[in-house]
Structure 1
């Protein structure tokens, strides 16, 4: 007696694992993955060149100088006073450049001298050390008023002849204000890194699905297993591929960083400690990637051309930038309604919670946030699968008047041969 054919379907997780393994292996051993790994090298090269050029430009740009136009004796006295004060105050004292030594009774127009383009003058001091006159733009002369008064007092002998030594009383520990400020710095750094990595890597989901739509592969997979499993599998395969790239970049960068004598102590420690902070960073990056990737996956599934993909993905990217600004603003409002709302909105929640890990040592809030974000990922995947089935595959139950209702559950019956063929 022959055994009847098995017609049972794979579970959603089992089917998603098969799709994820298939896509991950195919992408990992492709030539494009090598170029994907080399991408940050070009970014670092361009950043290094831009930083070097910027530093060279800053070195070549002269800072504004303070011109002086007084009698010969007063010019010598003011120059000597400026030199003595510069030894104590350093860059706080502006550079003093001689504009003109005036003869007795000679008139002088500071405004005309300021119009000289080759002098690089920020202001001009004239008159006498006992009654100096500072001429220049309002903002500049207000900033330099105190320095000019010090130079004039030193030149007239009214300044201090000795400067008492200051004894430094160092605290054994940092103050509460220093600790709080350090937590804010770490929170902002964590948000920036999480946002940049998510925006950089989540776009891979789009190209992957658009390519398979063109080859009709997605329709073959959808005929064999549930679309929810297809979407989940593709999301997790791209997430695993991103983590493979991050692992390579992290190992390479870590060797350079720690080999150069640096350590995590160079940055202010987070409130939960570095091990938990890095662990939460892994979780929140994964969830942020899945949330944004599920949107991109939905766009790639219903778009028919690359042009449509670009038109749909740009508003999503702009909204994600707004979410980043929203989460960044919530950093300055810990415990407020603004932070609570930023933690509830799914796409800003990972950014907000990684900042909270740097500022607040409590962990139970992260358990709630992670559960909420996982639920949002599941809902977005389900909605994306229903939209794809209704708009692209033109399948699903008919509503009244012949209209399709995407919220109805589609027919689950598929050929048993497709169920048995996919795992092999």
Structure 2
């Protein structure tokens, strides 16, 4: 190792042990238990996302051009008779000469498709997401209503052929809730853990330790060592809670009757437990962890660079407030992007460097494309390097100027 890397490793180990090797670190690990109120807020937000996505659901009918107007008219009458409590929005399409595959239509992105009906109205083929669903029965009733109108009297029941696509994947509403959960978790952990860098810096500026470190090793090593030391604490924090979650999941799995999982119509709780993000649990958890590291490095570097410009603890706290407000804004932007995947707002959130880690984590829950995450990580690494480069310069100027940290800005203005 070069002297620079050795110095950086020493500072990182010092900062890591200064936090971990203390009795109060246990309280720090258990901090999420004292933040249940914020978790409830996240749960309410996820519920709202699920409701909005559920409202974007649809049922699809592929019929001949002569049947389109009759189907829409019958749908209007049925919904009026049901008092507006009908199923999702009806999407009527004209049949293609080459034929239409209901399974392909059911898997189209952008909205939950609960049921698809194709074929002649007297004997249609209905593909439904869940066996025996309300949407599938409504489509059969809709076809029967059209036939009754044309016959001007009683007609035999429609001989519909039902198929289930329950194994077709987790609903978009649930996946969007997963995306919001990922955004909320990364934001919460980033704000909680990256903020510790400012607390450590404030303490060391108060007792002059930072000046001793500056005299002993290059300030670039001090900066990177502090950043990596806090990253190590963050990784330990996440590993602890992942182990707790895995243990809790194993205990819960032993308490579930296997017959319940295999039974038809097991219910929404079991379906929620079996929900899977679009990219799969392994990739989703791994990429969310990488995006957390990107977000932590961005925010931690900014905290260290700006915090070094202050001469007192009060000034450090005041400087941290705008950064925190900015981070809350990134959380709001990413949350909105999670509720509208594929929209221009989502694309902007995925490209903007400080919201990109959050928005891309949400995208991993709803989009099965994996190669795009490599491009996103490359883009984020470029900005991490740029932010660290600028923050190191700010950190160096702030520490060397002592209490007159704002001289850095004056020198920049003169230049």
**Bin for the TM-score computed over the shorter chain:** 0.5 to 0.7
Q: Which residue of 1 aligns with 2:55?
A: none
Q: How does 1:4-403 map to 2 (within 5 A)?
A: 10-11=3-4, 13-44=5-36, 171-173=164-166, 179-261=171-253, 266=273, 268-394=275-401
Q: 2:183 and 2:414 mapped to 1: Cα distance? A: 36
Q: 1:370 and 1:287 mapped to 2: Cα distance? A: 8
Deviations 1:76-135 (A, max 9, x none): xxxxxxxxxxxxxxxx9xxxxxxxxxxxxxxxxxxxxxxxxxxxxxxxxxxxxxxxxxxx
- For residue 14 of structure 1, report the CA deviation from its aligned partner: 4.0
Q: 1:42 and 1:353 mapped to 2: Cα distance? A: 28
Contact kept? 1:186, 1:267, Cα under 8 Å: no
Aligned length: 278
TM-score by length of 2: 0.59
Q: Which residue of 1 aligns with 2:123?
A: none
3-state SS, counterpart of residue 308 of structure 2: helix
Contact kept? 1:301, 1:388, Cα under 8 Å: yes
Deviations 1:192-214 (A, max 9, x none): 11112212222111111111122
Contact kept? 1:323, 1:347, Cα under 8 Å: yes
Q: 1:318 and 1:230 mapped to 2: Cα distance? A: 27
Q: 2:205 and 2:271 mapped to 1: Cα distance? A: 45
Deviations 1:222-252 (A, max 9, x none): 3343323221211111111122122223323
Q: 2:380 and 2:190 mapped to 1: Cα distance? A: 15
Q: 1:47 and 1:276 mapped to 2: Cα distance? A: 24
TM-score by length of 1: 0.58
Q: 1:363 and 1:239 mapped to 2: Cα distance? A: 26
Deviations 1:302-323 (A, max 9, x none): 2222221221112211111111
3-state SS, counterpart of residue 296 of structure 1: helix
- For residue 278 of structure 1, report the CA deviation from its aligned partner: 0.5
Contact kept? 1:10, 1:225, Cα under 8 Å: no
Q: Which residue of 1 aligns with 2:56?
A: none
Deviations 1:389-409 (A, max 9, x none): 3244139xxxxxxx745999x
3-state SS, counterpart of residue 302 of structure 1: coil
Give unmatched runs, 5+ long, in structure 2: 44-84, 86-159, 257-269, 403-409
- For residue 344 of structure 1, report the CA deviation from its aligned partner: 2.1
Contact kept? 1:206, 1:300, Cα under 8 Å: yes
After superposition, the CA RMSD in angstroms is 3.4
Contact kept? 1:187, 1:355, Cα under 8 Å: yes
Contact kept? 2:206, 2:312, Cα under 8 Å: no
Q: 2:161 and 2:285 mapped to 1: Cα distance? A: 36
Of 18-27 and 275-284, the range deviating more from structure 2: 18-27
- For residue 180 of structure 1, report the CA deviation from its aligned partner: 2.6
Q: Which residue of 1 aligns with 2:107?
A: none
Q: Report the CA distance shift for 1:337/1:407 in structure 2 as closer, same or farther (over 3 A).
A: farther
3-state SS, counterpart of residue 400 of structure 2: coil
Contact kept? 1:291, 1:377, Cα under 8 Å: yes
- For residue 332 of structure 1, report the CA deviation from its aligned partner: 3.9
> 4+ residue runs of structure 1 moved beyond 4 angstroms?
44-48, 167-170, 262-265, 405-408
Q: 1:266 and 1:21 mapped to 2: Cα distance? A: 40
Q: Report the CA distance shift for 1:264/1:251 in structure 2 as closer, same or farther (over 3 A).
A: farther
**Rg: which structure is higher?**
1
Contact kept? 2:220, 2:396, Cα under 8 Å: no
3-state SS, counterpart of residue 358 of structure 1: helix
Q: Which residue of 2 aligns with 1:103?
A: none
Q: 2:8 and 2:385 mapped to 1: Cα distance? A: 13
